[in-house]
């Protein structure tokens, strides 16, 4: 089957001074042209929604120097990888081939640039935009050097198993191409090293170490302080803990039914990895909570399980994770659901329950965001607003923050205290000016003050403005 490739961003790429992108050619025609001219093939894999793709199209590819180098060495074709309602016939004809290209070369980021030999064999891959033309040319020059071609280096790594420099390049190639051979190359490379603890090696190890069975895993365990000195505080621990948690709990979470005990899990991990200390708890518990969250979401999303039956979901999770306080996770999932479904009354109740139970651990920023977004703007419930006012009063006495001042002022206004509301809104404005916040944020505060003075609503729901007395 012939593959017809069509250029996108035609107007920008039609300039004579930049890269010449061929359009309307089949794959065989592109390859034939490359062979006849002795040039490599450059495929610009982009998406219509991709900002960096447009940046390259509008600012890098039209440059004279970029065009001069690329046109001399490559046959260039732009390939649209996504689908839109505005796609012309040629792009639609290429949908299946685009999907195949994405799968074969593991394209997950845009732009991605693929380079082929004149015979149509893949040799290199570049991911991401460049800041300037010189950078793009430098990267494109690597395509002309077999020792720098990722796919070529990977293809030949087994005949260079005693060459640590070659294997280092092969590891880099494995990362950029998504090759499944990465862990095998890593083990081979590791055997050759006399001093594996270098910054360059650690960066490579991080990208390719996947399980506690990898040879470099023990290196991290035995060299915690040395790696932390090289890379920064707790670096080794932050790298190891997610791997440990995944490997050591895989069988536990594979169970369809509970019970699963957090205390037993963390006790086992600490006994097996005593050198990691409290870091193991700090880094593992969020991962444990993510597992619980995923289960709550899965129950919510089941077609046979009404997502409004939150009581039943809570009971199921309670039975599976006995003794573990997961309510904050549960509230967040429920709050997200209510927000998306525009269930404002229930949304405010959930936020209120979150604050009632967890106000001491949420922190001032989270408290402000929760009260502003999920209480103040969606409900006129006097009990909820009055309690929220107390929480915010406590917050503004602890920290000086213009957002907290603004939220407190608006709560005062919505609950009928106009004089104090205006006073605190002025404080928010003064602090915003002093701390040089962004103009749009300052304007928001000023707009709120203006609405207060005019007795207009500053909230999103339809709660009426309180009736203020004349002296207010």
Q: What is the pLDDT of residue 4?
A: 45
Instruction: Give the mean model confidence (pLDDT) for residues 414-425.
Output: 96
Residues 203 and 116 in one domain: no
Q: Does the pLDDT at position 1 exceed 80?
A: no
Residues 64 and 183 in one domain: no
Confirm whether 349 is domain-assigned.
no
Higher pLDDT, 20 or 12: 20
Distance CA 236, CA 193 (A): 19
Indicate which CATH number applies to the domain containing 442: 1.25.40
Q: Label residue 285 by pLDDT band (50, 70, 90).
A: very high
Q: Label residue 112 by pLDDT band (50, 70, 90).
A: very high
Give the end of a domain, one of 233, 253, 281. Answer: 233
Q: Does the pLDDT at position 136 exceed 90?
A: yes
Confirm whether 216 is domain-assigned.
yes
Q: Does the pLDDT at position 364 exceed 80?
A: yes
What proportions of the chain, in percent to the nearest 5, are helix, strand and coil? 65, 5, 30
Residues 71 and 174 in one domain: no
pLDDT digits (tens, 9 = 90+) for 248-262: 999 999 877 779 999
Q: Label residue 357 by pLDDT band (50, 70, 90).
A: very high
pLDDT digits (tens, 9 = 90+) for 175-203: 989 888 998 999 899 999 999 999 999 99
Instruction: Give the mean model confidence (pLDDT) for residues 21-43.
Output: 90
pLDDT digits (tens, 9 = 90+) for 373-385: 999 999 999 999 9
Q: Label residue 470 by pLDDT band (50, 70, 90).
A: low
Q: Point out which residues pair with 75 in neighbouring strands.
A: 41
Give the end of a domain, one of 99, 119, 144. Answer: 144
Q: Does the pLDDT at position 128 exceed 90?
A: yes
Confirm whether 208 is domain-assigned.
yes
Residues 112 and 170 in one domain: no
Q: Are the C-beta atoms of 41 and 75 separated by less than 8 Å? A: yes
Using DSSP's 3-state secondary structure scheme, residue 115 falls into strand
Confirm whether 323 is domain-assigned.
no
Residues 160 and 137 in one domain: no
Residues 186 and 217 in one domain: yes
Residues 374 and 446 in one domain: yes
Confirm whether 386 is domain-assigned.
yes
Residues 126 and 174 in one domain: no
Residues 130 and 24 in one domain: yes
Residues 164 and 66 in one domain: no
pLDDT digits (tens, 9 = 90+) for 431-465: 999 999 999 999 999 999 999 999 999 999 999 99
pLDDT digits (tens, 9 = 90+) for 57-73: 999 999 999 999 999 99
Confirm whether 438 is domain-assigned.
yes
Q: What is the pLDDT of residue 335?
A: 96
pLDDT digits (tens, 9 = 90+) for 298-337: 988 887 777 778 999 999 999 999 999 999 999 999 999 9
Q: Point out which residues pair with 5 in neighbouring strands.
A: 25
Distance CA 294, CA 101 (A): 31
Residues 106 and 47 in one domain: yes
Full residue range of the structural domain in which residue 18 is found: 4-144
Give the end of a domain, one of 233, 263, 292. Answer: 233
Indicate which CATH number applies to the domain containing 43: 3.40.30.10
Confirm whether 271 is domain-assigned.
no
Whether omega for the bond prior to residue 111 falls within 30 degrees of 0, making it cis, is yes
Q: How many domains does the chain have?
A: 3
Segment among 25-29, 141-145, 212-216, 345-349 with least mean pLDDT: 25-29
Residues 167 and 109 in one domain: no
Smallest CA-to-CA distance from 206 within 180, 234, 181, 186 is with 186
Q: Label residue 91 by pLDDT band (50, 70, 90).
A: confident
Confirm whether 416 is domain-assigned.
yes
Q: In whole numbers, what is the pLDDT of the chain averaged over residues?
A: 91
């Amino acid at each position: 089957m012939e593959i017809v490739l069509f250029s996108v961003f035609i107007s920008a790429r039609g300039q004579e001074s930049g890269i010449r992108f061929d359009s309307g050619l089949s794959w065989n025609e592109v390859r034939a042209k490359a062979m006849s001219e002795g040039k490599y093939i450059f495929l610009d894999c982009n998406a219509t929604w991709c900002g960096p793709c447009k940046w390259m199209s509008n600012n890098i590819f039209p440059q004279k120097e970029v065009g001069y180098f690329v046109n001399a060495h490559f046959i260039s074709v732009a390939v649209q990888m996504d689908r839109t309602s505005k796609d012309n016939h040629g792009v639609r004809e290429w949908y299946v081939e685009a999907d195949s290209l994405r799968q074969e070369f593991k394209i997950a980021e845009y732009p991605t640039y693929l380079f082929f030999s004149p015979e149509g064999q893949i040799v290199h891959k570049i991911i991401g935009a460049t800041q300037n033309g010189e950078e793009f040319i430098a990267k494109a020059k690597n395509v002309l050097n077999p020792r720098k071609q990722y796919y070529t280096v990977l293809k030949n790594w087994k005949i260079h198993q005693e060459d640590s420099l070659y294997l280092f390049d092969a590891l880099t190639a494995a990362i950029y191409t998504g090759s499944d051979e990465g862990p095998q190359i890593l083990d081979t490379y590791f055997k050759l090293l006399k001093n594996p603890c270098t910054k360059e090696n650690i960066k490579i190890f991080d990208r390719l170490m996947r399980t506690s069975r990898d040879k470099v895993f023990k290196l991290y365990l035995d060299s915690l302080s040395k790696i932390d000195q090289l890379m920064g505080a707790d670096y080794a621990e932050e790298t190891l803990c997610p791997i440990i948690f995944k490997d050591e709990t895989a069988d536990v979470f594979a169970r369809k039914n509970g019970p699963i005990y957090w205390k037993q899990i963390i006790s086992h991990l600490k006994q097996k990895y005593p050198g990691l200390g409290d870091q193991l708890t700090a880094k593992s518990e969020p991962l444990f909570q993510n597992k619980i969250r995923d289960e709550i979401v899965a129950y919510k999303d089941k077609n046979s399980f009404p997502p409004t039956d939150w009581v039943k979901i809570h009971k199921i999770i309670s039975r599976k994770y006995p003794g573990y306080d997961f309510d904050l996770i549960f509230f967040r999932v429920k709050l997200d659901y209510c927000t998306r479904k525009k269930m404002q009354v229930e949304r405010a109740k959930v936020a209120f329950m979150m604050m009632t139970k967890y106000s001491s651990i949420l922190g001032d920023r989270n408290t402000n965001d929760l009260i502003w977004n999920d209480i103040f703007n969606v409900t006129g419930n006097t009990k909820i607003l009055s309690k929220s006012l107390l929480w915010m009063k406590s917050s503004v006495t602890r920290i000086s923050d213009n957002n907290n001042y603004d939220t407190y002022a608006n709560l005062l206004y919505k609950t009928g205290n106009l004089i104090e509301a205006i006073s605190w809104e002025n404080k928010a404005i003064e602090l915003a000016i002093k701390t040089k916040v962004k103009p749009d944020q300052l304007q928001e505060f000023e707009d709120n003050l203006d609405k207060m003075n005019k007795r207009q609503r500053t909230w999103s729901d339809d709660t009426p403005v309180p009736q203020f007395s004349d002296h207010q």
